[in-house]
């Protein structure tokens, strides 16, 4: 009867070929660990053993679906140590990604060879953990502390070429990996000292202190980067002392709130990009994209599309604007080149694939067109009328609107099944979120194509229905509204911002408004004025700042003031006096709010609005809300998103806070069912 193990061993001419086949990423599941344990035993009769993997990658990490259960033997540290201690030495023959447990196994092998471009890392920090099978103890011994810190504390991956230069890879081989292994064996170097027995050159106390400060700054409250930093320093101890410490902390962290939140984000991110609505629908092939509008947003979308190997035509209103659009894209590509993110050849090829024009007829032949002009219904309708004339009737039409109803934008166009929203976030060449907005008429194939395109661009697409602001901006409006209620009731901008930074945001709501520009939200409030519920509390502080010309960083003044050439927000007595005078004029008795009070209220408002969006069917579930907030609005990933955070905290607590918020502003906060029932 054939073996069902994902690991098979074949001994030929004294060489044990150990092959792992555990799709999709050859994770170190219980079955793989058992198979490797058996393979080590079987290999003891051979002269050498070669460990390689089938599929697209070497072992790319652990099986996180097992992390909520008690670990089952054989445990990975025991398997890794058995490979290192094996009388028959192992060669790791690697390709694709060698991550986490995969890299721990590779470091235990006597020699390491890899195909060009193979990438290595210890990304456990991204799920709130430290390595659990000796990774934090072997990496400093093999790579040096500096590289180990980049890997373990920041989750950085390195190509095989870098590791070869550092002496951690014995050979980079081209072509067939098995043939490369055979060639390496033909000229096999002496067996080196096992990595676990090597000594570590520890950095100076000053260097370690500087590294810790950098880690703390980047972590913004996340603890696992610091846990990794601590574990790496245990490599100064004998391996027999450091490795058990590492394992104990790894197992402890599996049950931490931080790790559970990050694992939730990991799985949710993958789930939302392939929604049930497109489960059985293949996407169309997209080769050419037209983008109407070459401003900051359009140029960013164009840059992202060029990076995915697409041919891009940017359409502008006149020749001067078309030239400006090309220059904006070129500058973005220049920046990527300077930063080493693309090669000179990639820079040249992407510019060659870019076309700009003032004639909508030049969009002809595009498989998909994205409109990225300013938020004006008439302007968007006019753009699509011209695109519809130029493009094939099956070509997909996507609007990048942030707030407007896509049904009104596309009204009257032929073949409405090809129309949908693709709401990118600025800067579009960097931000990962794309809200894919489905209209009632949108075809499943069209929807599937939009999701496939977003994934090809390296984005996280999230399905949304139609409502004011879709998922993200609707929640942002609620978040900002409560922040401004807090201002009127007694808090000041810097207090609110500091409270949210303390939660893990990169910036608070008022710092964020200054960065984005206050005029965008101001224009939306003016547009909504005619339909706003007169019973809803409305505070005018933000409007007053806009009327004063305080529009944010670009104007040098917003909620804060900014010195020439600086983006550092500075408290402004004029704004604080205006807020206090406003409260007095409105007969509002100002009171103190602690940082905990501020956080609790703003997070309750986010959770309540997210729950309402799900209850209304705008979002399919809480995962979608969490991914929108993490990838589009800076919600700290290590908190898991507002809905995960609410569940972890308890909806009873959210309900108590939200009821208080609603009672203090009558008629302003409809409660979600999950809030009102707790």
Give 660 or 528, the one with higher predicted confidence: 660
Domain hosting residue 237, numbered range: 7-255
What count of other Cβ atoms lies within 10 Å of the Cβ of residue 82? 17
Q: Which of 23, 94, 95 is nearest to 63 (CA)?
A: 23
Query: What one-character DSSP code corresponds to residue 461?
Result: E
Which residue in the block uniquely carries the two structure tokens 């108590």? 656
User: Does any domain span residue 268?
Assistant: no
Q: How do the residues of the chain divide into helix, strand and coil, expressed in percent and rounded to 5?
A: 55, 10, 35
Question: What is the domain-level CATH number for residue 540?
Answer: 1.10.1040.50
Q: Are residues 665 and 538 in the same domain?
A: yes
Q: Residue 432 pLDDT > 60, yes or no?
A: yes
| Residue from 358, 374, 368 nearest 316 by CA | 358
User: Which of the listed residues 414, 434, 464 is the one where a domain comes to its end?
Assistant: 464
Query: In whole angstroms, how far apart are CA 350 and each of 279, 344, 353?
Result: 32, 10, 5
275 falls within a domain: no
- pLDDT one-digit tens code per residue, 396-430: 999 999 999 999 999 999 999 999 999 999 999 99
300 with 424, same domain? Answer: yes
What is the number of helices (H) and of strands (E) in the chain?
28, 17
Q: What is the CA radius of gyration of the chain?
A: 28
Mapped onto helix, strand or coil, the DSSP state of residue 570 is strand
- Number of neighbouring beta carbons within 10 Å of residue 104: 30
Q: What is the mean pLDDT of residues 536-561?
A: 95
Let me know: does 507 contact 635? Beta carbons within 8 Å. no
Distance CA 541, CA 526 (A): 14
Residue with tokens 């944010």: 552
Q: Is residue 279 part of a domain?
A: no
Q: Check whether 167 has a pLDDT greater than 60.
A: yes
Regarding whether 444 and 503 lie in a shared domain, the answer is no
On whether the CB atoms of residues 613 and 464 are closer than 8 A, the answer is: no
Classify residue 16 by burial, with Cβ atoms within 10 Å: 0-12, 13-18, 19+: buried
Contacts of 480 (CB under 8 A, 6+ apart): 509, 513, 521, 542
The pLDDT value recorded for residue 529 is 87
**Statement to judge: residues 505 and 366 lie in one domain:** no
pLDDT in tens, 23-44: 999 999 999 999 999 999 999 9
Which pLDDT does position 85 carry in this prediction? 97
Q: Which band of pLDDT confidence, cut at 50, 70 and 90, is reported for residue 67?
A: confident
Average pLDDT value over all residues in the chain: 96
Q: Which of 255, 274, 307 is the last residue of a domain?
A: 255
Q: How far apart are CA 143 and CA 137, in angstroms?
A: 11
pLDDT of residue 66: 83
- 304 and 453 belong to one structural domain: yes
Closest CA to 130 of 59, 87, 77: 77
C-alpha 220: how far from its chain's center? 16
Longest dimension (CA), the chain: 91
Return the closest-CA partner of residue 57 out of 11, 15, 108, 22: 22
The continuous run of DSSP H or E covering 294 comes out as none
Is 270 domain-assigned?
no
Average pLDDT for 341-346: 95
Specify whether 323 is located in the same domain as 433. yes
Degrees to nearest 5, angle at CA 498 with 494 and 503: 155
On the question of pLDDT at 1 being above 80, the answer is no
Cα–Cα distance measured from residue 299 to residue 424, given in angstroms and rounded to the nearest whole number: 12
**CA end-to-end distance (rounded Å), the chain:** 56
Residues 456 and 599 occupy one common structural domain: no
CA angle 637, 642, 646 (to 5 degrees): 120
Residue 605 maps to a domain: yes
Q: Give the residue from 260, 125, 269 showing the smallest Cα distance to 623.
A: 269
| Residue (of 594, 578, 559) closest to 486 by Cα position | 594
Same domain, 32 and 139: yes
Cis amide bond preceding 24, omega within 30: yes
The pLDDT of residue 441 is above 90: yes
Shared domain for 653 and 604, answered yes or no, is yes
Same domain for 378 and 341: yes
What is the pLDDT, as a whole number, of residue 495?
98
What DSSP string describes 149-171? HHHHHH---EEHHHHHHTTS-SE
- The answer to whether position 266 is within a domain reads no
* Residue 490 DSSP symbol: T
Residues 417 and 534 in one domain: no
Residue 558: its H or E element: none
Burial bucket for residue 117 (CB in 10 Å: 0-12, 13-18, 19+)? exposed
Residue at 620 is within a domain:
yes
Number of domains composing the chain:
3
Are 441 and 416 a contacting pair, CB within 8 Å?
A: yes
What's the CATH number where 68 sits? 3.90.226.10
- The pLDDT score that the predictor gives to residue 69 is 81
Q: What is the pLDDT of residues 606-659, one digit of tens each?
A: 999 999 999 999 999 999 999 999 999 999 999 999 999 999 999 999 999 999
Residue 567 has pLDDT above 60, yes or no: yes
Residue (of 520, 419, 421) closest to 467 by Cα position: 421
Q: Give the per-residue pLDDT at 3.
A: 61
User: Could you give the CA distance from residue 378 to residue 373 in angstroms, rounded to a whole number?
Assistant: 11
pTM of the model: 0.94
- pLDDT tens-digit profile of 101-114? 999 999 999 999 99
234 and 343 part of one domain: no
Inside any domain, residue 265 = no
Helix (H, G, I), strand (E, B) or coil at 506: coil
Question: Where is the domain boundary, 233, 255, 277?
Answer: 255
Q: Which residues are within 8 A (CB) of 187 and not within 5 positions of it... i.e. 6 or more apart?
A: none
pLDDT tens-digit profile of 522-543?
Answer: 888 888 888 888 889 999 999 9
The reported pLDDT for the residue numbered 523 is 86
Q: Give the strands of the sheet with 97-99, arranged side by side.
A: 97-99, 119-121, 158-159
């Amino acid at each position: 009867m054939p073996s069902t193990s994902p690991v098979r061993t074949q001994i030929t001419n004294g060489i044990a070929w150990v092959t792992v086949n555990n799709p999709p990423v050859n994770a170190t599941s219980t079955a793989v660990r058992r198979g490797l344990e058996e393979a080590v035993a079987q290999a003891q009769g051979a002269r050498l053993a070669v460990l390689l993997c089938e599929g697209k990658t070497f072992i790319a990490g652990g099986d996180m679906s097992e992390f909520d259960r008690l670990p089952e033997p054989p445990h990975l540290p025991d398997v890794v140590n058995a490979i290192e201690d094996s009388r028959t030495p192992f060669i790791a023959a690697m390709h694709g990604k060698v991550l986490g447990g995969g890299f721990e196994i590779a470091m235990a092998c006597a020699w390491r060879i890899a195909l060009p471009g193979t990438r290595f890392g210890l990304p456990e920090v991204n799920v709130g953990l430290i390595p659990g099978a000796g990774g934090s103890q072997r990496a400093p011994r093999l790579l040096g502390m500096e590289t180990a810190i980049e890997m373990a504390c920041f989750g950085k991956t390195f190509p095989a070429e870098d590791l070869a230069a550092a002496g951690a890879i014995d050979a980079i081989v081209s072509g067939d990996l098995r043939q490369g292994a055979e060639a390496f064996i033909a000229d096999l170097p002496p067996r080196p000292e096992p990595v676990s027995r090597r000594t570590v050159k520890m950095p100076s106390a000053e260097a370690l202190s500087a590294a810790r400060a950098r880690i703390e700054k980047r972590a913004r409250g996340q603890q696992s980067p610091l846990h990794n930093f601590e574990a790496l320093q245990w490599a100064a101890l004998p391996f027999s002392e450091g490795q058990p410490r590492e394992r104990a902390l790894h197992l402890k962290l599996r049950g931490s709130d931080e790790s559970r939140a990050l694992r939730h984000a990991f799985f949710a991110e993958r789930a939302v990009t392939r929604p049930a609505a497109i489960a059985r629908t293949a996407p169309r092939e997209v080769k050419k994209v037209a983008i109407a509008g070459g401003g900051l947003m359009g140029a960013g979308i164009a840059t992202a599309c060029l990076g995915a190997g697409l041919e891009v035509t940017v359409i502008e209103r006149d020749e001067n604007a078309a030239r400006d659009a090309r220059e904006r894209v070129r500058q973005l590509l220049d920046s990527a080149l300077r930063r080493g993110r693309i090669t000179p050849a990639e820079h040249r090829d992407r510019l060659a694939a870019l076309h700009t024009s003032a004639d909508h007829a030049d969009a002809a032949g595009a498989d998909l067109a994205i409109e990225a002009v300013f938020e004006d219904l008439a302007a968007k309708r006019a753009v699509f009328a011209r695109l519809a004339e130029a493009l094939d009737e099956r070509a997909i039409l996507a609007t990048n609107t942030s707030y407007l109803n896509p049904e009104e934008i596309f009204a009257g166009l032929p073949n409405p099944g090809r129309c949908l929203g693709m709401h990118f976030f600025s800067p579009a060449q960097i931000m990962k979120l794309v809200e894919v907005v489905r209209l009632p008429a949108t075809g499943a194939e069209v929807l599937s194509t939009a999701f496939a395109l977003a994934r090809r661009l390296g984005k996280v697409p999230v399905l949304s229905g139609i409502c004011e602001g879709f998922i993200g901006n609707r929640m942002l409006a609620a978040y900002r509204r409560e922040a401004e209620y807090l201002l009127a009731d007694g808090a000041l901008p810097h207090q609110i911002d500091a409270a949210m930074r303390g939660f893990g945001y990169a910036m608070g709501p008022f710092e964020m408004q200054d960065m984005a520009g206050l005029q965008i939200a101001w224009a939306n409030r003016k547009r909504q004025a005619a339909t706003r519920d007169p019973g809803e509390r409305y505070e005018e502080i933000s409007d007053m700042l806009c009327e004063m010309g305080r529009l944010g960083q670009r104007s040098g003044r917003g909620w804060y003031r900014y010195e020439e050439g600086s983006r550092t927000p500075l408290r402004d007595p004029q704004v604080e006096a205006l807020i206090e005078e406003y409260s007095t004029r409105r007969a509002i008795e100002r009171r103190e709010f602690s940082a905990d009070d501020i956080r609790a209220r703003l997070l309750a408002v986010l959770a309540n609005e997210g729950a309402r969006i799900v209850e209304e069917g705008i979002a399919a579930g809480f995962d979608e809300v969490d991914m929108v907030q993490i990838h589009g609005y800076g919600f700290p990933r290590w908190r898991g998103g507002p809905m995960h955070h609410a569940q972890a905290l308890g909806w009873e607590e959210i309900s108590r806070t939200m009821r208080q918020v609603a009672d203090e502003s009558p008629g302003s906060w409809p409660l979600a069912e999950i809030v009102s029932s707790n």
